[in-house]
Amino acid sequence: MKNSTISIPSPSLKGVLNIEPITEKPITIMNWSYWEKTTFIGKPDVVIIGSGIVGLSTAIELKTAQPSLRVMILERGVLPYGASTRNAGFACYGSMSELMEDLEKHPHKDVFALVERRWKGLVRLRKRLGDNNLKYEPFGGYEVFTAEDKNLFESCLSNVDDFNKTLESITGLQNVYQNATDKISSFGLGNVQHMIENSGEGQIDTGSMMQSLIAFAKNLNIEILNGIQVSSIKTENNSVKILSDNCDTIEAHRVIITTNGFAKQFLPSYEVEPARAQVLVTEAITGLQLKGSFHYDHGYYYFRNIGNRILFGGARI
């Protein structure tokens, strides 16, 4: 075992709580034993950093394409500790006003190529894990508009036919977007004047999805080591050294970074920054009528039912 130290400020509560101040706390850097090194660690063909949906799916794709590869995932958290276990569980590919806003900034083919990738990703995830494991509910998606959003609603409505043609070529579903203003009262929505339904959308149980994805990966002999906070990567000849804050170096033939907003730590030229986003879940609500995934204001705000609770979220970057 190797010890290094970090300084922790002395607590000012001495005397109040009768706690002796701790000024230095040793961090234990775990050195692999001979047995650990030869069995658990070795030199994997591929190390993936981050066990979110992208890291796990990358590992699964690699292992499916080439079963003889030794693939290891390193994750800083005891569980995956990123967006994949903390999101809203919308199985969605874009509300109308969100896509219309995207069309103002990007060419039509790029916007719908992204929609197609989202759709195909959902189809693949559902096929891979099964709807029972995802707890997939095909309740549909709805974009809501208040009285102040009348112009936005009318603009969306004027694009419904065009969008439906494009969406049919992607999803095979007909008339995906429809005016659903007549359904507002059935959901008990107070301040909503208009609504557009997206019949291709659903919702999943995010925790269940990730738990099943981990089980799927482990079934393919993908190794997942939790509690390893990778600090840097060094390439040497034809191999990679992966250094961490709390463990001995791990050597691999290749490394893949799937740390989402934290990718810049290893790839400084990438223009990505971590951003904070949150969802809130209410207590159970007796007699809740709301059922489905709801979008507001170009997708910046969203809410859904989880059984008889409501999840609220906001921010889109």
Ligand X SMILES: Cc1cc2nc3c(=O)[nH]c(=O)nc-3n(C[C@H](O)[C@H](O)[C@H](O)COP(=O)(O)OP(=O)(O)OC[C@H]3O[C@@H](n4cnc5c(N)ncnc54)[C@H](O)[C@@H]3O)c2cc1C
Q: Smaller CB distance to ligand X: residue 56 or 167?
A: 56
d(CA 218, CA 159): 45
Q: Which residue has the tokens 């994949």?
A: 84
Contact residue for ligand X among 48, 84, 99, 295 (CB under 6 A): 84
> What token pair was written down for 103?
């069309």
Q: Does 90 bind ligand X (CB under 6 A)?
A: yes
Using the contact rule CB under 6 A, the part of the chain among 129-137, 211-219, 247-255, 259-267 near ligand X is 259-267
Closest CA to 133 of 197, 212, 226: 212
Q: Does 230 bind ligand X (CB under 6 A)?
A: yes
CB of 67 to ligand X, least distance (A): 23
CB of 156 to ligand X, least distance (A): 21
Using the contact rule CB under 6 A, the part of the chain among 9-17, 31-39, 77-85, 172-180 near ligand X is 77-85
CB of 126 to ligand X, least distance (A): 13
Q: Does 141 bind ligand X (CB under 6 A)?
A: no
Q: From residue 53 to residue 72, what is the string marking binding to ligand X with x (rule CB under 6 A)?
A: xxx-----------------
Using the contact rule CB under 6 A, the part of the chain among 24-32, 35-43, 128-136, 257-265 near ligand X is 257-265
Contact residue for ligand X among 46, 59, 62, 82 (CB under 6 A): 82
Taking residue 266's Cβ as centre, other Cβ atoms within 10 Å add up to 16
d(CA 246, CA 248): 7
Contact residue for ligand X among 29, 32, 43, 81 (CB under 6 A): 81
Contact residue for ligand X among 46, 62, 76, 142 (CB under 6 A): 76
> What token pair was written down for 203?
């919702």
Contact residue for ligand X among 30, 83, 157, 288 (CB under 6 A): 83
Could you tell me the CA-to-CA distances from 213 to 8, 49, 50, 86, 207 in Å, in that order?
Answer: 38, 16, 14, 15, 10
Q: Does 242 bind ligand X (CB under 6 A)?
A: no
State the number of binding residues for ligand X (CB under 6 A). 31
d(CA 242, CA 245): 10
Q: Does 51 bind ligand X (CB under 6 A)?
A: yes
In sequence order, what are the residues at sequence separation of 6 or more whose Cβ sits closer than 8 angstroms to the Cβ of residue 228?
A: 74, 75, 76, 244, 246, 247, 250
Q: Does 277 bind ligand X (CB under 6 A)?
A: yes
Torsion angle (degrees, nearest 10) of CA 100, 102, 107, 112 = -80
d(CA 44, CA 51): 16
Q: From residue 187 to residue 216, what is the string marking binding to ligand X with x (rule CB under 6 A)?
A: ------------------------------
> What token pair was written down for 143?
């974009």
278 touches 271 (CB < 8 A):
no
CA atoms within 13 A on the CB side of 4: 8
| Phi, psi values for residue 91, rounded to 5° | -95, 80
Q: Does 44 bind ligand X (CB under 6 A)?
A: no
Residues near ligand X (CB under 6 A) are 49-55, 74-77, 80-84, 86-90, 229-230, 258-260, 262, 277-279, 313
